[in-house]
Structures are given as C-alpha cells and as structure tokens.
C-alpha cells in the first residue's frame, strides 16, 4: 500500500482489469501472503491498492471463505489511522482486496534509515498506531500481526495501520505446515507461541515489542531459527531499552515492561488502555532543544506525521474518534486531565451556570416557608436520584461483557448469552479438529469484551474435523512414490517418512505396493498414511556348484529362487552327471534370474576297431604290428597280452566294435 519503485520487469497482472473494474498499473511490493499493486478503480476513478493473495492461499477454499469474512469485518472498521478496505473479490483465480492507497513508506523503511528514534519520536509514532488498534479492539477485531511493516507513514503526515484480519484469515489453514505460526516471529506474544491464541492483549504485546525496536534499533530477541526466537518470547522477559541505549527514561522502560509482560493479565487490557499510558508517559518526558517532543525534527529529516489531539478527554477521546488536534507549545500532547479539575472557567472545569433571578414574590401570595423548603428538598432529591441513575446507566449500566461461549452447544451458548444480556447470531460453520461437532468453535467479539447490552455476538459452530479421502493408486505397481506423495499433499494428508520398503519380484523399485489406511478411507487433515514401497526383486547370493552332482545343484539353486537351465557336454575330467561349469558362478542375483549349469556326460566314446583274425582264413590274418597301428590310429592305446609263434591277433579286450573313450587301453592277444 506504500508507493515504491516498481522493480517488476514482467508481471502477468500489470495491465489487466480485475473484476471488470480495477486496472492494475504497477506492482508496489511483495510479501509472504500477497503481492500489492497500484490500480485504478475505473468505476469511481480513484487510485487504490490491490492486495492479491498468492496462489497457495487462493487455491484453499477454507482460506478464501475465511478471508472474505475477515475482509467484511475489516471493511466495517472506519478510522483515520486505519487503512480503509473498499472491496474484495475474485477474478480468474486471483483473490484480492481493494484498499485505500497510501503514498509514502513503512515504519520499517524509517528504521532502516534512522536505526532508532528518540523516546519522544517513538511515542509520537506509537500513539496513532494505538489509536487505530483501540478502534479495532472496540469493534471486536484483533490485528494479530502488529509490526513495522504494517505501519504506514504517509507523505501527507498520516500514520495508518494495515492488514487487519489477514493474519486471522490465515491462522486456521490446516494444510500447510503442520505447525506454522501466523505473524512475524519477532513480534509474537507468548500466548501465540504457546497456545496459538490471540486477543487484544496480544496486539498490546506486539506494539510493546515494536516500541522497544523503535527505541533500540533492533527487536528484543534474535536466534538462529524462528523457533528459537519464538521460545525466547515464551520464556524470557523483554529487557529494558535503557540496557541497550543510554538516556532512555525509566518511565519509558516501565512502559515497555508493562506492555510486554509475559502474563497477559499484567498488560494493559487493550490498545486504548495502553494508549492512555503512552499519552501519560509522553506528557512527562523532558525535551531537549533538539527534540520538541513531537515529530518536528523527524518531519524535517524524514517524514511528516500527524498525531491525534490528546489534550482533552471526553466521552469520545480524539484517539478513539480519529480527529486530529493541534500540538501545544511544547510540541507534544498533554496527558488527559481529570474531569472538572481546576477553577471555574478553566480548562477541564464545566462552565458555571448563572442562577436565574427569583421572580418577585407577591406578598399576599407568598408560599409558606416550610412548605417551600420541603418542595425544594424533594426536587433536589429527585434530580439527584435521576442524575445518579443516568450516570450509572451511561457509565456502567448499559455495558456488559461478552461471555465465553466456546465449546458450548448452540443452545447452551444462547442461554449463557441471554444471561449476559447479549444476543446470539449463528454464522457460517467451520471445520475443527479440537472442538466437538455442533459446539461453538469461535465467537466475535471474543470473551470478556466490553459491549453494550443487547449487542450481538456471532458464533460459528464446529462441523467436526474436516475429512479427506486416502487417494487411489495402481495396485499393479504402476504408481511411483513421488506421484503418490503429491496426491497425499493435495488431499491434506501426511506421508510416513521414511516409507516402509519391501522386495517385490513384480513391482518396479520406487513404486507403491500398498497403503495404510486403505484407499477411500476418510481421515482427518494431517493424518499420516503409511506407504509400502518396492525395492525391486530381492538380491540372492550365488553359490558355485562346479564339480558337484547336477541334480543337487539344480535343487539348491531352484530353492534359492533362481531359474536353472542345464546344458550337457563331454568331459574327460568331470564324471558324468556332475557340473562341469556354472554361469554365473558367484556374486548376487535376483529372484527369477537364470543360472546355467553345464553338466558332464563323461568322456566322449568311439568305436573300437576289430583287429582279430580268422585262423581258417589266412587272408584275414592281422599281425601284432598291423593291429597296434590300427588301434593307435583310432586313438586307443595298445597292450600285447600274449604272443604266439605265428604272431596272428586272435583276441582283443575290450572287444572290437564296442564304444570306448579315446585313450582306452586295448589288450591284444596273438597266436
């Protein structure tokens, strides 16, 4: 909402017209929740600031519904120190707010330039901030995100507070991080850190931390992580500013200590009460020649800031009505004066009313002096009683406090509200994982808020926890873990980390085997789903069965999960039926892998030549020399068993014609 140099080289929204009305002219700033643009309202011909929510938020239906409700509440807040909300809408997936355009800069920009402010300057900036928060608290709104980035310092001297209701709209998002804290951690109150709740006193705490930073140039706590800073808010007291910067008055130290008390009950009960303390302390500051107690010095060096007039206190103090006053000679607003203090005719003293002259008495009709006295006495008594009754009514009698209706049934809430003299209006229901169904999950205004008798308290009933279905996956193993994790995130469910793993001969490594709870089961947001992911086929150690019986090797390898393929070959070294070789013979394999066994058929056999002679047929006679050569040429060895005088081979062992391995010794006999 502040005018800044547009560093956008290319922005899809610049030049577009949203909702047929708002022509986007330039990007101003970008934050954690939204991007802010300067735009022209073509219908009313005025410049506005458009706050366009980031897609993460715009795609969440629960956030958008709550955002719209909070925008309506913020739009009802009218105060000179509050950035006005004109409109809210949605166009082609862009959810936006149309707000007052404030040309200037933020308090954060000022602190970057100046580092720190004097006590008088810091309190003069804080007063209009508290005036804005006081108006919000009176309307039942809690800011929840008070920080220098949300304090706007306009070029024309105004101080305005922005972003009422946006932190509250984001606070109930259940799909983000499981435990995210809404609000800048440097300014979070202890109750926001510990219990995740915020009321008017939480805004007071944040304003106190902001005052500390204006005085010292740094927040009270730092740390390596946001969590460590948050824990310091919960468990450590904010140090006095004078411990870091000398010359800060004790009254200002005490002001910071009171606003930042860790116990909310020890703080001012709302921004209005804190404002009264600030006005009192600021009025008692001793000013130097260079510090006129207002923002004159600050104006000359940095910016112009217009402060509300705090010199008088009446039924509608200026810091609540938003009317601007004039500074006194000292340059700072005087503390509130007690009613009717001083002498008649002096400031704070009601004007003296002249008594009307008594009419001339008719001496013949003069009332009896005793009767006249009694009449005057009764008149005075009646007037005093009426004044007392009227005073009681306007001061206290017409006011009541909102009861705590949370977690009550709607009927019980209405009874309790009736007893507290307020009426109940039932708003839109909300999902809740902590409040039972049909019980009050939220009320506006919050409990113990001061309201007029007969005012309305809006309650929202719980619908119970929002349920989401466990997404489907391919049971045949076609869904990857990465894809299913995205499905779970979209369904607002968590995934067990690390996932369960299991070997599978059929499902590719990295794909899903099963999920628990089962597909289609309705679960609360954030429920953890356990997935079983395939590691692929299980690895198996390969044992070498070379030279061992083939039937035993086949049985063992098959039992281990391998597919065994046998081959056969002759071997002169491995006996028949045993394994000559194995492929692979070592290492690891997977279930279903193939192992080849080369099984021995024993040595190869050849036909033994028949070298015997028929003694009756001299033509067939074979000599020892001839028989030896024939057998040797065939690959056999020869041994002469017996030799007769004729040298004719008549017998051989093994017999001719039989099948024998090469190298077999053939014994021949001759006569």
Query: What residues act catalytically?
Result: 145
Beta strands in 430-572 (DSSP E): 440-444, 450-452, 456-461, 467-469, 494-495, 500-502, 512-516, 522-524, 528-534, 539-541, 563-569
The packing angle between helices 250-259 and 271-283, to 10°, is 180
Query: How far is 256 from 253, CA to CA, in rounded Å?
Result: 5
Q: Provide the phi-psi class of 506: left if phi over 0, else alpha when psi is between -120 and 50, else beta.
A: alpha
Residues 6+ apart with CB under 8 A from 399: 450, 451, 452, 453
* Count of Cβ atoms closer than 10 Å to residue 390 Cβ: 11
Closest among 394, 450, 453, 398 to 420, alpha carbons compared: 453
Check whether the bond before 515 is cis (ω within 30° of 0). no
- What is the 8-class DSSP label of residue 648? B
Longest dimension (CA), the chain: 206
* Count of Cβ atoms closer than 10 Å to residue 86 Cβ: 16
Closest among 47, 73, 141, 155 to 109, alpha carbons compared: 155
Rounded to the nearest 10 degrees, how much is the dihedral formed by the CA atoms of 306, 310, 316, 322? Answer: 10
Residues 6+ apart with CB under 8 A from 414: 424
Q: Provide the phi-psi class of 198: left if phi over 0, else alpha when psi is between -120 and 50, else beta.
A: beta
């Amino acid at each position: 909402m502040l005018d800044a140099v547009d560093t956008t080289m290319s922005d899809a929204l610049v030049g577009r017209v949203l909702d047929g009305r708002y022509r986007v002219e330039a990007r101003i700033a970008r934050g954690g929740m939204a991007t802010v643009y300067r735009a022209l309202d073509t219908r009313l011909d005025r410049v506005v600031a458009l706050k366009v929510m980031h897609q993460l938020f715009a795609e969440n239906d629960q956030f958008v519904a709550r955002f719209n409700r909070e925008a309506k509440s913020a739009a009802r807040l009218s105060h000179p120190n509050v950035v006005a909300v004109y409109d809210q809408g949605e166009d082609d997936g862009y959810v936006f707010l149309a707000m007052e355009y404030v040309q200037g800069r933020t308090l954060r920009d000022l602190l970057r330039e100046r580092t720190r402010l004097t006590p008088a300057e810091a309190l003069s900036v804080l007063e209009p901030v508290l005036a804005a928060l006081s108006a919000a608290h009176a309307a039942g709104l809690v800011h929840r995100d008070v920080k220098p980035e949300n304090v706007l310092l306009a070029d024309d001297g105004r101080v305005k507070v922005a972003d009422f209701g946006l932190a509250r709209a984001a606070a109930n998002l259940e799909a983000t991080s499981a435990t995210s804290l809404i609000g800048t951690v440097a300014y979070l109150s202890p109750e926001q850190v510990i219990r995740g709740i915020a009321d008017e006193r939480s805004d007071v705490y944040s304003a106190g931390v902001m005052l500390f930073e204006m005085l010292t140039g740094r927040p009270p706590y730092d740390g390596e992580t946001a969590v460590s800073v948050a824990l310091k808010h919960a468990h450590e007291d904010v140090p006095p500013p004078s411990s870091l910067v000398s010359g800060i008055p004790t009254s200002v130290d005490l002001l910071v200590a009171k606003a930042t008390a860790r116990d909310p009950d020890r703080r001012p009960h709302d921004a209005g009460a804190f404002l009264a303390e600030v006005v009192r302390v600021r009025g008692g500051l001793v000013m130097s020649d260079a510090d006129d107690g207002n923002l004159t010095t600050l104006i000359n060096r940095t910016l112009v800031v217009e402060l509300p007039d705090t010199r008088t206190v009446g039924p509608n103090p200026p810091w609540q009505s938003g009317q601007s006053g004039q500074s006194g000679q000292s340059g700072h607003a005087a503390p509130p004066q007690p009613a009717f203090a001083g002498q008649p005719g002096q400031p704070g003293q009601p004007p003296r009313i002249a008594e009307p002259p008594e009419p001339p008495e008719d001496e013949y009709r003069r009332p009896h002096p005793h009767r006249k006295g009694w009449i005057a006495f009764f008149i005075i008594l009646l007037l005093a009683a009426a004044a007392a009754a009227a005073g009681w009514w306007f001061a206290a009698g017409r006011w009541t406090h909102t009861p705590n209706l949370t977690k009550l049934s709607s009927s019980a809430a209405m009874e309790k509200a009736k007893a507290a003299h307020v009426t109940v209006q039932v708003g839109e229901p909300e999902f809740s994982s902590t409040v039972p169904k049909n019980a009050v999950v939220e009320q506006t205004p919050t409990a113990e808020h001061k309201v007029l008798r007969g005012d309305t308290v809006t309650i929202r009933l719980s619908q119970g926890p929002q349920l989401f279905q466990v997404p489907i996956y391919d049971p045949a193993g076609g869904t990857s873990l990465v894809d299913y994790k995205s499905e779970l995130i979209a369904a607002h469910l968590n995934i067990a980390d690390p996932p369960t793993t299991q070997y599978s001969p059929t499902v590719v490594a990295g794909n899903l085997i099963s999920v628990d709870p089962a597909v289609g089961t309705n679960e609360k947001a954030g429920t953890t789903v356990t997935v079983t992911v395939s590691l692929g086929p299980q690895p198996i150690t390969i044992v070498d069965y070379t030279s061992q019986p083939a039937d035993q090797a086949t049985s063992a390898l098959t039992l281990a999960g391998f597919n065994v393929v046998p081959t056969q070959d002759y071997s002169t070294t491995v006996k028949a039926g045993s394994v000559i070789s194995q492929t692979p013979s070592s290492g690891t394999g997977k279930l279903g892998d193939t192992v080849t066994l080369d099984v021995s058929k024993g040595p190869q056999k050849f036909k033994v030549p028949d070298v015997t002679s028929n003694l009756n047929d001299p033509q067939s006679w074979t000599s020892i020399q001839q028989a030896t050569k024939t057998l040797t040429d065939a690959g056999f060895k020869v041994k002469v068993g017996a030799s007769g005088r004729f040298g004719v081979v008549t017998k051989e062992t093994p017999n001719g014609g039989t099948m024998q391995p090469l190298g077999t010794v053939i014994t021949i006999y001759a006569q």
